[in-house]
Structure 1
């Protein structure tokens, strides 16, 4: 089974207080912050993440796709909304029943379309809860690794440790 998560970029930025605040001063920084968080999320959960940003009001803009550390970032073309891009992708992917597709948005109309297409919707608040849980699990796993890490000498037999110690002293 393939798992996909489409994120309505500006919808999430405007729904998460820390990103909304950052976007007031520097929208690019808010986008980068969201992308970084989704990279971390994707690396832990293994879901293929695509973040879609509206560029439909940008005169003459062409669709721009780039992959950043495994996360696909899409800026739509002129006259195309993030919603319409996501809807088209959802329709294509849900044709294959092996695909599990989720869309992160708090836009009610978009959520209704997503549900009607056989995908699952996740609100901005629910995504924030999942992100917080992922971050907590990453910290927990890092702590376990740190605690389980042992020195090389702890894993060697006494004879090998003595040989290495003699060799070190000769150097």
Structure 2
């Protein structure tokens, strides 16, 4: 949907996405939020790398009496847990405001993934692009399919065997050895 750029920041409202993606909602309902968070992170690692985005998945820690914390999973993806009395919405809005007022010059553009309509209007007012949680799910799925298709088409059935990666002369010698010639 969006053209990738080395300077693009994708901000994901983590719990909003978990609630909007049926597969993650199911995990959350059955096993709790932690496995759903882990699955979201795992899913977005490949997508983020392929798109070339810097990605922050933001989770509320509003009722936890802890400072905000960030954990880097890859060069492209990190997870941020908000500080006490801060929501993911306010963290995302502040990041967008910093971008708008040019206090984040290293960022070329921001894309915010959330299905919260009020958040959508606020971040777009700060010049960020918006993608719904449902559209992000579609984009992630399409990217995964494209990657699998390109990998499978580049690996023909015969390409699975070491023999086929050898040059023709070596293949002939091995064939002769196999047939006892």
Please classify the TM superposition score into its range, dividing by the shorter chain length: 0.7 to 0.9
Q: Name the SS for the 1:103 alignment partner.
A: strand
Instruction: Say yes or no: does 1:17 pair with 2:16.
Output: no
Give me the whole-angstrom Cα distance separating, in 2, the residues matched to 1:99 and 1:35. 23
Q: TM-score, normalised by structure 1?
A: 0.85
For the aligned residue pairs, the C-alpha RMSD in angstroms reads 2.4
- Report the counterpart of residue 132 of structure 2 in structure 1: 123
The correspondence of residues 92-111 of structure 1 with structure 2, limited to 5 A, is 92-94=98-100, 95=102, 96=105, 99-111=108-120
Aligned residues: 166
* Aligned-partner Cα distance in 2 for 1:98–1:5: 10
Give deviations 1:66-106, integer Å, cap 9, x for gaps. Answer: 01133110000100100111111122234249612100001
Q: Please, which runs of 5 or more residues in structure 2 have no aligned partner?
A: none
Task: Provide, for residues 19-78 of structure 1, a one-character-per-residue CA deviation record: whole Å limited to 9, x for no partner.
Answer: 1121123210000011011102112211111100000111x2111100113311000010
| Residue equivalent to 2:59 | 53
SS at match of 1:43: helix
Q: How far did residue 166 of structure 1 move?
A: 9.0
In the other structure, the counterpart of 1:136 is 145
Question: 2:41 is matched with which residue: 20, 30, 35?
Answer: 35
Q: Does 1:5 align with 2:18?
A: no
CA deviation after TM superposition for structure 1 residue 122, in Å: 0.5
- TM-score normalized by the length of structure 2: 0.81
CA contact (8 A) 2:11 2:112 kept: yes
Bigger mean CA deviation after superposition, 119-128 or 97-106: 97-106
Q: Gapped runs of 5+ residues in structure 1? A: none
